């Protein structure tokens, strides 16, 4: 039997000719990532190992993004620990306030992830880099510590689900709608410890930002990773952002999949995930009357420039509902600058939104957008579990930036078609 993309990448990094699903391997790592929630734990574990130096100071990335700018004394101490470790170890890829961004938008932007890489991160949404044809997955802080010390990680080879995409997206439909549609179809455990492999002629009609969003949310279907076949769009992105060497892996013609799912993306409508799971999905035509209190546009899922452009197309020349708090977070400083140069930030402010520095804060109910009891939010984030953004009796509805912006205007979950004539 042939191998999938993920299996071929892992085999190469384990220096093996072939691997089988379920096989345990040790693989060489191209990048190890941590943030201000997980890296401090990893640093303490690293110190216990007794290794003085990280295995490669160019292959460790540390990004304080969850509670920064520091929200309290505890978060300040966490970041201080990371900062001192990074400086002592001479970590080349340490990005803090002023040059930082939300980690899963920043790493590709900095060219630190390329096709064929094996990347681990002490954050579950590390699977984002599969958009570039890399194997990337979230791990625990102890695995991060071991990786920093040894340059290797252990993996169980995953089985895979193949998604053959065809067609072209309708207006106001994006990669967020596609992945919510898929999660709604297969469930939050529908790809448990499997690789979600995306291919077919339809991927050429998905932008890189669409792909980052889809790979980012593979974990919400329980997947080990999400990965896209590499095409000209991918190569153009890599050539623009990175000088690293890379290798493109393609699935074998005889690759074994647990199932193959064909999806015509032209049939997908704007899709919303209702509380309290990402697979509780409905199309915009099935929503009904859901009055909201807050809108959050941003995060590692939907804080990229195309996301902001989409929101701006909806908000331009309009006013946000007087009873809806709207917060917009460009995902990196570079995206912030680009949005400023294009006049997007002006559109947001004039519409009545608050625009903030890059942060993960509101996504995990950390800071800058906490919900009170009974409040409802439409968010372009990736999770809507009980209490995810604040009070356990609040509700989070996941949606695309276009739907989120339209909902901010009307004060209820709405289609952009309703407000943009």
Element (H, E) at 34: strand 31-35
Cα distance between residue 119 and residue 109, in whole Å: 15
Provide the β-strand partners of residue 295.
326, 378
Divide the 421 residues of the chain into consecutive groups of 10 and give the mean pLDDT of each group.
94 96 97 94 94 95 90 92 95 88 94 97 96 97 96 96 96 97 96 96 96 97 97 96 94 94 97 96 95 96 97 97 96 96 97 93 86 96 92 96 98 93 77
Strand partners, 136: 119
Q: What is the pLDDT of residue 68?
A: 82
Break the chain into its structural domains and give their ranges: 5-264, 269-419
What pLDDT score was predicted for residue 364? 85
Q: Does domain 5-264 have CATH number 3.30.499.10?
A: yes
CATH architecture, domain defined by 269-419: 2-Layer Sandwich (3.30)
Tokens describing residue 21: 């699903």
Taking Cα atoms as reference points, which of 376, 305, 379 lies closest to residue 335? Answer: 305
Gap between the Cα atoms of 93 and 226, Å rounded: 24
CA neighbor of 117 nearest in space, from 214, 247, 232: 247
Which pLDDT score, from 0 to 100, does residue 50 have? 87
Phi, psi (rounded to 5 degrees) for 46: -60, -45
The CA distances from residue 348 to 297, 338, 392, 417, in Å, are: 11, 14, 29, 19
């Amino acid at each position: 039997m042939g191998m999938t993309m993920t299996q071929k990448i892992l085999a190469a990094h384990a220096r093996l000719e072939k691997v089988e699903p379920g096989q345990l391997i040790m693989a060489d790592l191209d990048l190890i990532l941590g943030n201000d929630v997980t890296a401090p734990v990893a640093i303490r574990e690293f110190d216990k190992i007794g290794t003085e130096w990280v295995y490669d100071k160019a292959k460790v990335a540390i990004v304080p993004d969850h509670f920064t700018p520091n929200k309290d004394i505890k978060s300040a101490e966490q970041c201080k620990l990371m900062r001192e470790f990074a400086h002592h170890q001479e970590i080349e890829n340490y990005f803090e306030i002023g040059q930082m961004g939300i980690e899963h938008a920043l790493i590709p932007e900095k060219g630190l992830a390329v096709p064929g890489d094996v990347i681990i991160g002490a954050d579950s949404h590390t699977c984002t880099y599969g958009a570039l044809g890399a194997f990337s997955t979230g791990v625990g802080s102890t695995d991060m510590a071991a990786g920093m010390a040894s340059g290797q990680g252990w993996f169980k080879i995953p089985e895979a689900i193949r998604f053959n995409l065809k067609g072209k997206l309708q207006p106001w439909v994006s990669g967020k709608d596609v992945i919510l549609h898929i999660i709604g179809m297969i469930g939050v455990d529908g790809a448990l410890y499997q690789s979600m492999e995306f291919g077919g002629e339809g991927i050429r009609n998905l932008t890189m930002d669409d792909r980052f969003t889809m790979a980012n949310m593979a974990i919400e279907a329980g997947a080990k990773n999400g990965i896209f076949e590499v095409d000209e769009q991918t190569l153009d992105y890599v050539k623009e952002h990175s000088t690293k060497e890379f290798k493109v892996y393609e699935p074998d013609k005889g690759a074994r999949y647990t199932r193959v799912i064909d999806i015509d993306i032209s049939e997908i409508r704007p899709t919303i995930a209702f509380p309290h799971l990402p697979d509780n999905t409905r199309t915009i035509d099935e929503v009904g009357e859901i009055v909201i209190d807050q809108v959050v546009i941003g995060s590692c899922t939907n804080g990229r420039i195309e996301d902001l452009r989409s929101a701006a197309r909806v908000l331009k020349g309009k006013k946000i509902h007087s009873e809806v708090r709207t917060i917009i977070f460009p995902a990196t400083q570079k995206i912030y600058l680009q949005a400023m140069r294009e006049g997007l930030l002006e559109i947001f402010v004039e519409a009545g939104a608050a625009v903030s520095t890059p942060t993960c804060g509101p996504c995990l109910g950390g800071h800058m957008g906490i919900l009170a009891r009974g409040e409802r939010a439409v968010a372009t984030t990736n999770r809507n579990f009980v209490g995810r953004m604040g009070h356990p009796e609040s509700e989070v509805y996941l949606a695309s930036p276009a739907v989120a912006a339209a909902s901010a205007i009307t004060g209820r979950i709405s289609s952009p078609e309703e407000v943009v004539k």
